[in-house]
Structures are given as structure tokens and as C-alpha cells.
Structure 1
């Protein structure tokens, strides 16, 4: 059993026995927080207002999650298309099925929108984000 399998076997139950928060989700959340903190520090060093990264993250994180799910569904069509019942499972993200490539595409769209809304230059933000993005990927891989 490798580290990712072991971590996934540690499913933690909160609130009720029917709600299980998987270790993989916790690793992804830790990665998002780490990337946000690191990007904030790098943007502050470039003269940006403290906390502006949160305004961008409000766009990037949800669109990244949506993009990750869409990419998974498109690359695994037999799992989701063919019957109405199967198609409903497109929405069941808690059953698993996200892809990093889709997350990068959706997240980049979210960053672009967030930068437009805050007046930040996209490439300046992307430069500040790059190390944090790698850090987030590393945390996410622990749970995979």
C-alpha cells in the first residue's frame, strides 16, 4: 500500500455517519490554503494590496473545481453518458473524479476573471502564483 492509498483509507467522519470527508479532500484544501498564503506574500512583495489574492481565489477555486470535474467527465464518457441515471452522476463529485488538467484550465479562467475584477495584471499574478501552484499540487498528490 503506498502513501496515497493509506491516506485515503483514513476517511474521517464528521457531523454524521453519512458524511465522510476524505483525506484527499483535506490534502487539496491544505494545498489551496498554502498556495493562497504563498501567492499573497509574493504579491505583497511586488507592491500589491494584502489580501487581494482572496478576491482572485474566489473566482479561481470554484472554476478550478468545475473545470476539474468537466475534464474528468469528458475523458471518461462511458461512466456518465448512455442513460439518464448515468448522466445524473456527473453532478456527484463526492463519488470521485476530478482531473488536474481541467483544474488548471478552469482555474486559469478564474484567475483571468479575478484579475480583471481587481485590476491586477494576469501575468504578474501568474508569476506570483507559480510556486504556490506547485506547492498545492504537491499537497494534493499526498492524498491521491
Structure 2
């Protein structure tokens, strides 16, 4: 039987570098590279993508932590010193996404960029980053599901190293990190395959497709996890938010299509780049 993988990649002096950080950083770099390429193709200065990431990352981290703390407030009210102890775990991807979108909208307003177009450019690459990032959870043995059996995991034809990493606290667990990672990877491939088809997407519809795809899958994966945040017994925060986001994105899509005044995604930017003036 294989031993659990070491979450620490290496140490530099007294500083331990975790695989989680390496994986997340790699995911961000790949996403930024792809988004910058797409920005150039759509007539957007790719410097804006890098600037957006530099602004969004710290706020995304803060948002992810505040989201988690808010729904675990009874604990943190008694242990206020733990609020900033992010190294002890406790971040939520929805909090990061919400904070990032706010930063995006502010930046686009200041720089005179079309927010729907910028979100469309970023959306598929964000989904890829999420797919890669879940493997950081795998290395930390977190974001897993209920107890299962060795026979069940082997029936999924998973590599042995994944199966053994799902042996947590003496019991095999559902690899929910893998379910969500796979769902996001499929969504990324689909969006990247179809968003350049002429006459398929108005500006804003790529990111709305991302929201609907991600929230639909997250609803079911969240129902399998054992570390969910709850509004009340039986009501998981992420499942409720998934429903709201899915319905909201679908309604926005229909309303914008009926109005018929949104430009096509492939038309790219119609605004001058103020950074060149």
C-alpha cells in the first residue's frame, strides 16, 4: 500500500513550500497566459489582463477568507485571533470569485473597458485554473466526500496514488475534488472549442455559460462533500448560491438576447485603449 503524499514539496531554510501553493500558482500562470493570448485576438491590450490579475489576487484571497469566516462566525467570534490564520485552512472559492468580479468591474470602469468582453476572455481560463487548483486540495487531503470502500474507488479505474490519497483518517473517501476538477476541465474544453464559432456568442454569454456550467456541477459535488458551510441544518451555502447563480445567469442571457443590442463576442473591443493615449 502506498503512503499518503507529502503536502510539502521542499523546504528553503526554515520555510516549507507546499504543493498546494505551487499548484495554485501554476494554475494562475497558465490561466493568465491563455487569457492574454485571447485578449490580443479580441483587440484588448493584454497588459490589462496582467494588471487585473495583480489587483484581483489579493482581494480574491481576502474574499475567500471573509466568505468562509462569515459562515463559521460562531467559531471565529470566540477565536478572533484565528480569523487571519489562513494557513490553518478555511477559504471558499465562491468568496474569491465574488471579490474578483467586483475588482474586474471597478477596473473596467476606470480603464474604459467593456466588462462583458473582459469577463468572456477570462472565464474559460478561470475554469481551467479551478480544475488545476483542486489538485492542491488533493495534496492536502481536503475537499473530500463521505466514506466509501476501496472496491468502489478501484471500480472508478483511478490510479493507485489517488486511491491511497483518499485514505483519510483510516477510511477511504469519495474523491469529490476529482469530480469537480473533471467537471471544470470538461467545461473549459467545451468553451474553448465553441466560443470562436461565428454567430454563437454575444458578449457576456461566454462568462454566463461558465457561471451556469460551474454552478450546475458544483451543486451536485457540494452535496457529496463533508466539509460544507451551512446556513442552517440541511441547507448548504454553496448549493443555495449555485442555484441563485445558475438561474440568474440564465435569466440575464435570455433578457440580453431579447434586447438584441449586445455585440458579438468575436467582434472584440470597440473602445480605444486609453493606456495608449
Q: TM-score normalised by the shorter chain: which range applies?
A: 0.7 to 0.9
**Higher strand residue share:** 2
State the TM-score, normalizing by the size of structure 1.
Answer: 0.84
Equivalent residues in 2 for 1:8-87, closer than 5 Å: 9-17=6-14, 19-82=15-78, 86-87=79-80
Q: Any conservation in 2 of the 1:61–1:110 contact (CA below 8 Å)?
A: no
CA RMSD of the aligned region, Å?
1.8
Q: Any conservation in 2 of the 1:115–1:122 contact (CA below 8 Å)?
A: yes
How many angstroms apart in 2 are the aligned matches of 1:58 and 1:12? 25
Unpaired stretches in structure 1, ≥5 consecutive residues: none
How many angstroms apart in 1 are the aligned matches of 2:118 and 2:29? 16
Unpaired stretches in structure 2, ≥5 consecutive residues: 138-277
Shift of 1:34: 1.4
Give a deviation string over 1:1-46, Cα, whole Å, max 9, x none: 9xxx73xx231343333x2222112211111111111111111100
Count matched residues.
Answer: 135
Identify if the C-alpha distance between structure 1 residues 12 and 121 changes in structure 2 by more than 3 Å, giving closer, same or farther: same
State the TM-score, normalizing by the size of structure 2.
Answer: 0.46
Give the 3-state SS of the residue equivalent to 1:12 in structure 2.
strand
Shift of 1:118: 2.5
Larger radius of gyration: 2
How many angstroms apart in 1 are the aligned matches of 2:75 and 2:21? 22
**Higher helix residue share:** 1
Q: Which residue of 2 aligns with 1:143?
A: 136
If asked which structure has higher relative contact order (CA below 8 Å, sep 6+), I would say 1
